[in-house]
Structure 1
């Protein structure tokens, strides 16, 4: 890994968004960028971001307020966990990023699977993550090693660029999550998609619904016509309707 002092191609595209590229490296999985900017979603601060592409952010923190949840989808995820699983004890996350959600619940038994060891090292060096409770490896393979009915929460937040690895969107994978969840456990999935004419969203919803009788989808911007973070919550138990501070339940 090395400091970057020249930009070309994708780096120039990132700079168009008003960001400064402070670090870049490559792994066998992706190119990894660390960028900074002074504003985010209309707020001022010193925002540092982990990116795998120019149009997506895998993690963001405000260095002036490092414990605050900057991204709205992170705040919505925490709202959903606190509402549907307020007393959870064991959680499993697939996709580390900078460890935002796991750090928020540092007092819980929250294990994270991250396939890219370079992402873990970058999260420690540039975002202050401890690396505690992070396992390096494929999330599906590591989830298989957990005991049946042992997890109160499984949170899928794995991305390569803007796409979820396809093997984490199959019926076999969701069957596995169901096997590992406790009877009242919940699956939460962060999906970057479009509420209009997104065929894969409908396919994904249908696949999850084959395994889980209760599936709910939440959007911060239900009228937005371009891509956004959508939070999918699924469970074997009936989940009550919920309107978080920043997200609305929508119909698929």
Structure 2
């Protein structure tokens, strides 16, 4: 096993305070990788297994007692938004594999996932039961460039290095590329971890996307929360009607 860097002791102290245990840990070329377990998650009891790259982020979670259920609210919100705004999509492209929750949910669709870290793919198979099917190892932007114009009905950006999206996947060039690859009714959906207020990068992200896509909606997991949370941006060239997901709230991003 590779040696975890100096953040290991802090991570282990932190998760022990939250009642978690480490099942597996290693160091890839890109990040620390931990598989942890706990008995409570988002107010529910069970045997929850999580993939983590840092103490303040969870890249995927399953309840081993109900492995086919969507254990995390952000996964349920993602599926809710896709089902509403792209209910009849045929082809999808996901950047960021995690444990493969969304791709597994849509196993009956043609979805390709880009994951830059091969160890993440192996961990998802060994500890989370993913098949590894239709996962390409490589940079998501580079792999997306290889796809045909207007070939995708849904692109989901869910890539993180620690708790931040890699900067090249939030650039104007990247959003122009997604616009080129999406079909006319297609949607781009982004899982962004940030704050509703006083989050300068959220405003930057919103401005970059709305400068390319004429329609953009933003949803918060908890509209009253002042600290960081999962925020969802849905963009398209076609009109996006107002929608109230079961576990999220539409929000407005105004000003700077």
Q: TM-score, normalised by structure 2?
A: 0.96
In 1, the alpha carbon distance for the partners of 2:173 and 2:214 equals 16
In 1, the alpha carbon distance for the partners of 2:133 and 2:237 equals 30
1:201-240 Cα offsets, whole Å, 9 max, x none, are 0000000011100010001200100000001000000100
In 1, the alpha carbon distance for the partners of 2:18 and 2:212 equals 40
In the alignment, which residue of structure 2 is the partner of 1:108? 109
1:62-85 Cα offsets, whole Å, 9 max, x none, are 000001111111101100111011
Where 1:211 maps in the other structure, the secondary structure is: coil
Where 2:36 maps in the other structure, the secondary structure is: strand
In the alignment, which residue of structure 1 is the partner of 2:239? 238
In the alignment, which residue of structure 2 is the partner of 1:228? 229
| 1:55-204 equivalences in 2 (<5 Å) | 55-204=56-205
Q: Which portions of structure 1, spanning 4 or more consecutive aligned residues, are displaced by more than 6 angstroms?
A: none
In the alignment, which residue of structure 2 is the partner of 1:19? 20
Aligned Cα RMSD in Å? 1.3
In 2, the alpha carbon distance for the partners of 1:51 and 1:181 equals 30
In 2, the alpha carbon distance for the partners of 1:114 and 1:218 equals 25
In the alignment, which residue of structure 1 is the partner of 2:44? 43
In 1, the alpha carbon distance for the partners of 2:9 and 2:171 equals 37
Q: Give the C-alpha shift of residue 9 in structure 1.
A: 2.9
Where 2:81 maps in the other structure, the secondary structure is: helix
Where 2:211 maps in the other structure, the secondary structure is: helix
Q: Give the C-alpha shift of residue 183 in structure 1.
A: 0.7
Where 2:35 maps in the other structure, the secondary structure is: strand
In 1, the alpha carbon distance for the partners of 2:221 and 2:204 equals 21
In 2, the alpha carbon distance for the partners of 1:199 and 1:178 equals 24
Q: Give the C-alpha shift of residue 14 in structure 1.
A: 1.9
Where 1:190 maps in the other structure, the secondary structure is: strand
1:33 aligned to 2:13? no
Unaligned residue ranges in structure 1 (runs of 5+) = none
Q: Give the C-alpha shift of residue 12 in structure 1.
A: 1.7
1:143-183 Cα offsets, whole Å, 9 max, x none, are 00000000000000000110000000010000000000001
Q: Give the C-alpha shift of residue 17 in structure 1.
A: 1.5
Q: Give the C-alpha shift of residue 8 in structure 1.
A: 2.5
